[in-house]
């Protein structure tokens, strides 16, 4: 065989091998179940039967049946039937996607209440309010409307159906019991006595369930006297009537006067020296000389400086002006310090705010409004399911609080951060089991408050003693300065 032919055949074999190797990855792979399935066991051949003797009829061969597959470690079998069985089985479900972080579920705002309340003050010399109650549901609703009255005021006129309740000899609230048809509204009205001429009065109102335990909605309004003269405001005196400014102006005037006098004296001395020189030339009879006179050494003169009395006086005036201005500024800053304000610097976030009941107070994330506070008799504190028994003589105080999230994100809040302060600077946190029972078993602190939403809910505090809470402290977070609401 020629050498060229051998070379061509060897090259052809090499190319064919490369093609086979390149085609192997493209072959369909066996199903994962077929690869994982055990191979059938080796079929043991039946024992050899000796042939029958001559003349003996040959027995009929039994029908051949496929041996049952067995799962053994030494099972060996053809690959084609196994692949066929694997491909004929049910399709394999797709594999699970890679693990991804579970997205945070957005908090769904609470559904709107079936009854809404709006309070508006009237432009009148005496405090008067209009309360608009509306049923936005599709069915009639029985509701109880209560309006809290400011401390020291009493109701002089109440719209039909309302009645006032008294506490310690003074009117504390006005109550109406209404039945509102579906998609209907009604307007209630009250007139109050002013506690002081021209003093603004805040009177919140809430709509409760028929038994008066759970609030539907609340609103508040502040009445301003229509004909009351504006309160006298302390205005600062004009600059020309302030002592530090007068002292500083006097010092500057004296300094300018001294400088002008010194300059005037120097200018006045110059003409005198010129006149003396002219008088010396006139002594020669006015005859000139061809050659100049021999130069005579002039006595050296010391450079004139401002007099000592001028320097000392100017320094004294400037020092007096600086001391007077510093003392006046420090006095104003010290007088503007509010010694009754709670400290809010350091780790606190935001500025602490204090106010009366019924006034919206804003902190770092929430706007709190306390509409009502009621306390039961001694021993009225009930044991909530799953809670420990209250101490003997304890009573429950329930506050109706409105919470509005002013931020663009959901905000959590915690029951242990909401406190009621008692006499002696003692405080108690929210009784969470009792609060859950007052909210029909719903844990109001379990879910954060949705962005831009507002909720009205009762908070229960279990206190001891006869004195009610004097102050409520409400806050959204641990480092929030919070708000303080003064109880009447």
| b/e sequence 108-143, b meaning 16+ C-beta within 10 Å | eebeebbbbbebebeeeeebbbebebbbbeeeebeb
Output the domain CATH number for residue 424: 2.60.40.1240
Residues 359 and 471 in one domain: yes
Say if 272 falls within a structural domain: no
Q: What is the three-state SS of the chain? A: CCHHHHHHHHHHHHHHHHHHHHHCCCCCCCCHHHHHCCCECCCCCCCCCCCCCCCCCCCCCCCCCCCCCCECCCCCCCHHHHHHHHHHCCCCCCCCCCCCCCCCCCCCCCCCCCEEEEEEECCCCCCEEEEEEEECCCCCEEEEEEEECCCCCCEEEECCCCEEEEECCEEEEEEEEEEECCCCEEEEEEEECCCCCCCCEECCEEEECCCCCCEEEEECCEECCCCCCCCCCCCCCCHHHCHHHHHHHHHHHHHHHHHHHHHHHHHHHHHHHHHHHHHHHHCCCCCCCCCCCCCCCCCCCCCCCCCHHHHHHHHHHHHHHHHHHHHHHHHHHHHCCCCCCCCCCCCCECCCEEEECCCCEECCCEEEEEEEEEECCCCCCCCCCCCCCCCCCCEEEEEEEEEEECCCCCECCCHHHCEEEECCCEEEECCHHHHHHHCCCCCCCCCCECCCCEEEEEEEEEECCCCCCCEEEECCCCCECCEEEECC
Separation of alpha carbons 419 and 431, rounded Å? 10
Residue 31 located in a structural domain: no
Instruction: Let me know whether 437 and 476 are in one domain.
Output: yes
Q: Are 120 and 219 in the same domain? A: yes
Indicate whether 417 and 450 sit together in one domain. Answer: yes
Whether pLDDT at 184 is above 60: yes
If one compares 49 and 470, the residue with the highest pLDDT of the two is 470
Q: Are residues 358 and 481 in the same domain?
A: yes
Tell me if 3 is assigned to some domain. no
Q: Kindly state whether residues 329 and 411 are assigned to the same domain.
A: no
Closest CA to 204 of 229, 223, 224: 223
Rg (CA), the chain: 51
- Structure confidence at residue 340 as a pLDDT band (50, 70, 90): very low
Same-domain check for residues 387 and 479: yes
Boundary-marking domain end, from 334, 361, 390: 334
Give me the domain span that covers residue 246.
241-261+315-334
Report yes or no on 192 lying in a domain.
yes
Among residues 289, 305, 334, the one where a domain terminates is: 334
Q: How confident is the model at residue 102 (pLDDT cuts 50, 70, 90)?
A: very low
pLDDT band per the 50, 70, 90 thresholds, residue 153? confident
- Examine the pLDDT at 174 and tell me if it is beyond 50: yes
Tell whether 330 is covered by a domain: yes
Distance in angstroms (rounded) separating the CA atoms of residues 480 and 363: 7
Chosen domain end from 173, 194, 223: 223
What integer is the mean pLDDT of 63-73? 43
Higher pLDDT, 486 or 15: 486
Question: Would you mind telling me the total number of residues written for the chain in this entry?
Answer: 488
Query: For the chain, how many structural domains are there in total?
Result: 3
Question: Is 355's pLDDT higher than 80?
Answer: yes
Within a domain: residue 92?
A: no
Name the least confident of 39-43, 79-83, 338-342, 445-449.
79-83
Same-domain check for residues 166 and 256: no
Average pLDDT of the residues in 98-109 = 53
Q: Specify if 393 maps to a domain.
A: yes
Alpha-carbon span 412 to 444, nearest angstrom: 10
- The HSE-up count of residue 300 (CA atoms within 13 Å, CB side) is 1
* Residue 79 within any structural domain of the chain: no
Model confidence, pTM: 0.55
Same domain for 372 and 324: no
pLDDT bin (cut points 50, 70, 90) of residue 417 is very high
Residues 362 and 479 in one domain: yes
140 — pLDDT class (breaks 50, 70, 90): very high
> Would the pLDDT of 430 be above 80?
yes
- The CATH number given to whatever domain includes residue 125 is 2.60.40.2230
Q: Which residue has the higher pLDDT, 300 or 455?
A: 455
Task: Please tell me whether residues 473 and 359 are part of one structural domain.
Answer: yes
Q: Do residues 323 and 397 share a domain?
A: no
Output the pLDDT for position 431.
92
Distance CA 125, CA 131 (A): 18
């Amino acid at each position: 065989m020629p050498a060229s032919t051998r070379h061509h055949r060897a090259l052809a074999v090499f190319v064919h091998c490369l093609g086979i190797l390149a085609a192997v990855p493209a072959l369909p792979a066996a199903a994962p179940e077929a690869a994982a399935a055990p191979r059938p066991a080796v079929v043991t051949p039946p024992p050899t039967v000796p042939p029958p003797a001559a003349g003996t009829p040959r027995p009929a061969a039994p029908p051949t049946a496929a041996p049952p597959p067995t799962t053994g470690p030494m099972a060996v079998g053809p690959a084609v039937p196994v692949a066929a069985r694997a491909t004929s089985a049910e399709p394999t479900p797709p594999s699970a996607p890679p693990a991804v972080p579970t997205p945070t579920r957005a908090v769904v705002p609470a559904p709107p209440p079936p009854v809404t309340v709006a309070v508006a003050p009237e432009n009148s010399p005496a405090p008067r309010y209009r309360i608009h109650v509306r049923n936005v549901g599709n069915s009639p609703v029985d509701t109880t409307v209560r309006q809290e009255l400011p401390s020291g005021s009493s109701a002089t006129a109440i719209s039909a159906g309302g009645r006032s309740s008294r506490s310690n000899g003074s009117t504390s609230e006005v109550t109406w019991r209404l039945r509102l048809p579906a998609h209907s509204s009604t307007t209630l009205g009250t007139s109050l006595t002013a506690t002081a001429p021209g003093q603004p009065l805040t009177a919140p109102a809430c709509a409760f369930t028929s038994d008066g335990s759970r609030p539907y909605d609340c609103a508040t309004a502040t009445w301003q006297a229509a004909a009351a003269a504006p309160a006298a405001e302390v205005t600062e005196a004009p600059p020309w009537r302030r002592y530090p400014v007068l002292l500083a102006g006097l010092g500057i005037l004296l300094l300018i006067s001294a400088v002008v006098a010194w300059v005037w004296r120097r200018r006045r001395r110059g003409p005198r020296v010129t006149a003396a020189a002219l008088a010396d030339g006139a002594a020669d009879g006015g005859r000139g000389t061809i050659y100049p006179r021999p130069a005579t050494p002039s006595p050296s003169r010391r450079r004139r400086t401002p007099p000592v009395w001028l320097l000392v006086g100017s320094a004294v005036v400037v020092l007096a002006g600086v001391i007077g201005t510093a003392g006046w500024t420090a006095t104003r800053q010290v007088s503007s310090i509010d010694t009754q304000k709670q400290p809010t610097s350091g780790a606190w976030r935001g500025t602490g705010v204090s106010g009366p009941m019924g006034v919206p107070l804003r902190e770092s994330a929430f706007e709190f409004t306390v509409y009502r506070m009621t306390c039961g008799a001694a021993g009225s504190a009930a044991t909530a399911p799953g809670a420990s028994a209250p101490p003997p003589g304890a009573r429950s105080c329930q506050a109706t609080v409105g919470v509005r999230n002013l931020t663009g994100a959901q905000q959590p809040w915690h029951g242990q951060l909401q406190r009621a302060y008692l006499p002696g600077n003692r405080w108690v946190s929210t009784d969470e089991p009792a609060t859950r029972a007052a909210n029909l078993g719903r844990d109001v602190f379990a879910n954060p408050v949705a962005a831009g939403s507002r909720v009205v809910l009762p908070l229960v505090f279990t206190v001891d003693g006869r004195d009610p809470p004097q102050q409520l402290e409400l806050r959204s977070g641990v480092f929030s300065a919070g708000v303080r609401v003064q109880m009447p």
